[in-house]
Amino acid sequence: MTSSDHITTETAQDDTENGMSSTRSKLRDYATRLDKAMQGGGESRIKAQHDKGKYTARERIARLFDPDTFIETGLFISHKAIGLMKGKKPIDGDGVVTGYGRINGRLVYVYAQDFTVLGGSLGNAHGKKICAVYENAMKNGAPVVGFNDSGGARIQEGVDALAGFGEIFFQNVNASGVIPQISVIMGPAAGGAVYSPALTDFIIMVEETAQMFVTGPEIVKTVMGETTSFEELGGSSVHSFKSGVASFSRTDEDEALDLVRKLIGILPSNNLEDPPAIDATDDKARASSKLDTIIPDDPKEPFDMFEVIEEIVDHGDFLEIMPNWGKNIIIGFGRLNGLPVGIVANQPKVLAGSLDIDASIKGAKFIRFCDSFNIPIISLVDVPGFLPGLDQEHGGIIRNGAKLLYAYCEATVPKITVILRKAFGGAYIVMGSKHLRTDVNFAWPTAEIAVMGAEGAVKILYRRQLMAADDPEKLQLELEEQFRDEFYSPYTTARLGHIDKIILPSETRPRIIEALWPLLTKREQRMKRKHGNIPL
């Protein structure tokens, strides 16, 4: 039964029996209008939506929120009937459903573009409704979830539609770092529409039904002479594996909705709140003997950093972000003794864990998110350096590596770093070293901390001796051994005060949890300024 059923039946009966009372007819009229507005683009378009494996805007919202908590806003807002919309009937809601509700009891704002109404295209009023969602979400300090399913700017409204987009972009930027913003792409996000999700914190794409592209296949063909499809141009796999646009992809809408609810459960509602801690059900003193044997004897042999993360976080529960892009760095959320933390970890299994352009951008963006929303950052380090090569240098590893460095320096949330194995050169500094104001720095006894690897260092330092030697290979190995003993040792670094403590691998979880609780009241002020100039 819809909210209007009651009014419709009762008032209809009264109207017939008593003649039209003006109040009753108004109530009846309201009920009829409400029912019509709720139907969006009507039955056949809803069926077409379902046939594509997609929910409607209202179905998405109903599944997102706790039952019966959604309150709709702006239901009767419509277009201004200008441009090619002149003379067209009003469209209740103007193709977007907006409002607020609760996720696990917490306030969350939402907008959901309704593809059944003019292809979810964004007219001026549609844009204003989304902006109103943002204004209220910011005033009340709650996250915004946006369901994108639209053909882009409503062509019939001309520049007024562009104005709608411009206003949304402004709100996205204004809200950045104030409230979490999650974009869920569940259909096309075409043209300038893509820039709203791109300005938000997380983009979730649904496989096969979601596509994001600035210019569609037809324009690509006309301008560039390239033949392509929507999926090849901007499907979820493109943005998960190639472009790095998507934070997550999920196989269907239900999975994507579950993910939104999970994410909301980890994030604070706004930048003035701490992330939501839950009662810890995993032992905070839990040691892991597996970690004592995880580092291979051969320094060139990789290990899987995921196994380390799973041993450390509560119940091994880790939500990885961007799992298929920049795989040499791992980012994501876990909990430690019930408190959400952000994990940044090198992955020795991919490119030996070295930092390249993609990994630097990926890490930097995540660190800045955590810093904005009071989420402590735990860094797990096994990094041989920045990835060498023409591709990287010409692609701007200097400019892009600087982003990661900048993000670590800028972050004032609690920061804890553990060096597991290699931490060489500039990459040692970048990956949350003490010099960047990390609060607590641990190293495992297996840590190797140096300006550079022994092989390269010996070749530079002892070039003449090696050239003159009878057996240069033997000498090289001997000198490498000496170099390792002298410079690699974590005890040297600890003696210099650059490491706070050397810990057993098996004790990593309890030691991090111990180090974290005093930092929860941490306050660190930096020089006041308008904003820094992060190298972009």
Binding site for ligand HXC (CB under 6 A): 118-119, 121, 151-156, 162, 165, 188, 190-193, 216
CB of 91 to ligand HXC, least distance (A): 11
Task: Check 141, 426, 456, 469 and give the catalytic one.
Answer: 426
Q: Any catalytic annotation for residue 426?
A: yes
132 in active site: no
- DSSP state for residue 277 in the 8-state scheme: -
Q: Which is nearer to ligand HXC, 239 or 335 (CB)?
A: 239
Q: How far is the CB of 74 from ligand HXC (least distance, A)?
A: 20
Between 154 and 434, whose beta carbon lies closer to ligand HXC?
154
Instruction: Name the active-site residue from 41, 151, 191, 363.
Output: 191
359, 427, 443, 494: the catalytic one is: 427
List Cα–Cα distances, 517 to 44, 102, 370, in angstroms. Answer: 57, 30, 17
Q: Specify which residues 320 forms β-bridges with.
A: 332
> Look-up: residue for tokens 């979601």?
210
Alpha helices in 102-252 (DSSP H): 124-140, 159-175, 195-198, 217-224, 230-234, 236-237
Nearest approach, Cβ of 325 to ligand HXC (angstroms)?
Answer: 25
Q: Cα(532)–Cα(520) distance, rounded to whole angstroms? A: 25
Residues ≥6 apart with Cβ < 8 Å to 342: 331, 332, 333, 366, 367, 369, 370, 375, 376, 377, 378
Q: Catalytic site residue 191?
A: yes
Which residue number, 132 or 162, has a Cβ lying nearer to ligand HXC? 162
- 369: closest CA among 327, 407, 401, 312? 407
Q: How far is the CB of 40 from ligand HXC (least distance, A)?
A: 12
Of residues 221 and 474, the one with the C-beta less far from ligand HXC: 221
Q: How far is the CB of 169 from ligand HXC (least distance, A)?
A: 7
> Is 83 annotated as catalytic?
no
- Which residues does 208 contact at the CB level (< 8 Å), separation at least 6? 53, 231, 235, 236
- Determine the Cα–Cα distance for residues 369 and 372; give it in Å rounded to an integer: 5
Which is nearest to 216 in space by CA: 226, 206, 207? 226
Q: Choosing from 158, 192, 338, 456, which is the catalytic residue? A: 192
Pick between residue 189 and residue 375 the one whose CB is nearest to ligand HXC: 189
State in angstroms the smallest separation of the CB of 237 from ligand HXC: 18
Q: Are 287 and 509 in contact (CB under 8 A)?
A: yes
Q: Which of residues 91 and 377 has its CB atom nearest to ligand HXC in the complex?
A: 91
How many whole angstroms separate alpha carbon 319 and alpha carbon 343?
A: 10
Active-site amino acid positions: 191-192, 426-427
